[in-house]
């Protein structure tokens, strides 16, 4: 299998990558009280040493009291947490890597199985995280304004600490996606409405505030998904026209790269074409895209949460699509949990040394 095209450089604004492989953002919950530890820094450093082109951090939450449902998810605010992140980026850079934090607000959540709850109720566009499931407050306009500013502050801090980019988490049913979704955004003010143009308003203000904070030359990635964890088959955009109406305004507001989250990268997004989500997003918006979803593995990541293992598989179909120009970057999740050297092994053609994914890798930070 010839993967040499994946090992070509990619440059855009502040991003200068040696290859096209991105570590997908993966929540690890190893940051007690929101503070990334030295082990967290070593975990990312190992992936940089293992030749990952761009590391996206696990989701790390902005400065809102109920942005997280888990005491061990890292914060991206406060001196202690930011000192932890400073160590992370210093170690990643020393190992020749590049990195951006995935900036996150979870929005309305189910309570965490640990029993921990944030000091104030969860907040979201209409208090819902799925139809009929209310578990928090409807955000006031002041809450929304403060949240936009907190996103901007996190991005400014990322740039100040020396990160190479940031990723806005707009996917998977969390806060920003709760605004996109007509089933969880029932607002009648400027942040809600029947059309995606209206429900894009919050995301657009977040993007513009971040752009204002980081300047024009800093690359902004945004992650989006059609699916929700509560509905794997959900499609916010049912055809290319609707996808265009959703994504192009986000790009116009300042997004440089769209990270198109899918469970399985080979699945066509719409009928009558084999283009996947990242393929359509690139054609419609004109910006570079990142694909993701079971690259090099036999099973998908929802199976992983249910305890399923996955075996290594061929990258031929990925290469076919990459060589055709469907997307610019390829994110890999679970293979990098178990094996910091997955990218180096692919580069060297050592496919017999690939280890696949087993659920044990979720329980520790494999160094
Ligand atoms: C343990 C774990 C944690 C994850 N946490 C996040 C997260 O914080 N943010 C996010 O956008 N996606 C998250 N994801 C989804 C991954 O980024 C990725 O899209 C998914 O695992 C599919 O890629 P893969 O098949 O290569 O694993 C997580 C996935 C796993 C397995």
Give the distance (Å) from ligand 1 centre to CA of residue 141.
Answer: 31
| CB of 223 closer than 6 angstroms to any ligand 1 atom | yes
- Closest by alpha carbon to 330, among 298, 269, 366, 282? 282
Mutate to test the pocket of ligand 1, among 28, 168, 330, 333 (most ligand atoms within 8 A of CB): 333
The pTM of the full predicted model, rounded to 2 decimals, is 0.98
* Domain residue ranges in the chain: 4-363
pLDDT for 230 = 84
pLDDT for 343 = 97
| CB of 342 closer than 6 angstroms to any ligand 1 atom | no
| CB of 279 closer than 6 angstroms to any ligand 1 atom | no
Instruction: Give 10-residue mean pLDDT values along the chain (367 residues).
Output: 92 98 98 98 98 98 98 98 98 98 98 94 96 94 98 98 98 98 97 98 98 98 94 94 98 98 96 97 98 89 78 91 97 95 95 87 93
| CB of 171 closer than 6 angstroms to any ligand 1 atom | yes
In sequence order, the 6+-apart residues with CB closer than 8 A to the CB of 324 are none
pLDDT for 148 = 98
- Exposure letters 274-306 (e unless 16+ CB within 10 A, then b): ebbbbbbbbbbbebbbbbbbbbbbebbbebbee
CA atoms within 13 A on the CB side of 14: 20
Max Cα–Cα distance, the chain, nearest Å: 57
pLDDT for 331 = 98
* Nearest protein CA to atom 13 of ligand 1, as residue: 26
Mutate to test the pocket of ligand 1, among 21, 22, 25 (most ligand atoms within 8 A of CB): 25
pLDDT for 1 = 73
What topology does CATH give the domain 4-363? TIM Barrel (3.20.20)
pLDDT for 350 = 92
Distance, CA of 197 to CA of 244 (rounded, Å): 10
């Amino acid at each position: 299998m010839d993967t040499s095209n994946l090992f070509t450089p990619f440059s855009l604004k502040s991003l200068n990558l040696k290859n096209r492989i991105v570590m997908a953002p993966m929540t690890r919950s190893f940051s007690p009280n929101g503070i990334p530890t030295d082990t967290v820094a070593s975990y990312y450093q190992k992936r940089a040493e293992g030749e990952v082109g761009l590391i996206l951090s696990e989701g790390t939450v902005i400065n809102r009291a109920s942005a997280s449902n888990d005491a061990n998810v890292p914060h991206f605010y406060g001196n202690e947490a930011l000192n932890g992140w400073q160590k992370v980026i210093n170690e990643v850079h020393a190992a020749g890597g590049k990195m951006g934090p995935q900036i996150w607000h979870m929005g309305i959540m189910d309570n965490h199985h640990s029993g921990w709850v944030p000091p104030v109720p969860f907040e979201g566009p209409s208090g819902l995280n799925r139809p009929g499931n209310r578990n928090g407050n409807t955000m006031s306009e002041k809450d929304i304004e403060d949240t936009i500013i907190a996103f901007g502050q996190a991005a400014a801090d990322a740039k100040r600490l020396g990160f190479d980019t940031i990723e806005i988490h707009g996917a998977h049913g969390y806060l920003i996606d709760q605004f996109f979704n007509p089933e969880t955004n029932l607002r009648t003010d400027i942040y809600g409405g029947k059309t995606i143009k209206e429900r894009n308003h919050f995301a657009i203000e977040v993007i513009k505030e971040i752009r204002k904070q980081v300047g024009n030359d800093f690359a902004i990635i945004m992650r989006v998904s059609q699916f929700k964890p509560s509905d794997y088959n959900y499609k916010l955009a049912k055809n290319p026209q609707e996808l265009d109406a959703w994504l192009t305004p986000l790009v116009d507001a300042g997004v440089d790269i769209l990270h198109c989250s899918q469970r399985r990268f080979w699945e066509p997004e719409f009928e009558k074409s084999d283009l996947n989500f990242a393929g359509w997003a690139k054609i419609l918006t004109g910006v570079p895209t990142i694909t993701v979803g079971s690259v090099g593995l036999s099973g998908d990541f929802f199976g992983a949460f249910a305890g399923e293992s996955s075996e290594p598989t061929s990258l031929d179909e990925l290469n076919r699509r990459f060589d055709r120009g469907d997307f610019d970057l390829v994110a890999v999740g679970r293979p990098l949990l178990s094996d910091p050297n997955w990218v180096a092994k692919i580069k060297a053609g050592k496919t017999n040394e690939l280890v696949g994914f087993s659920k044990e890798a979720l329980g520790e930070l494999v160094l």
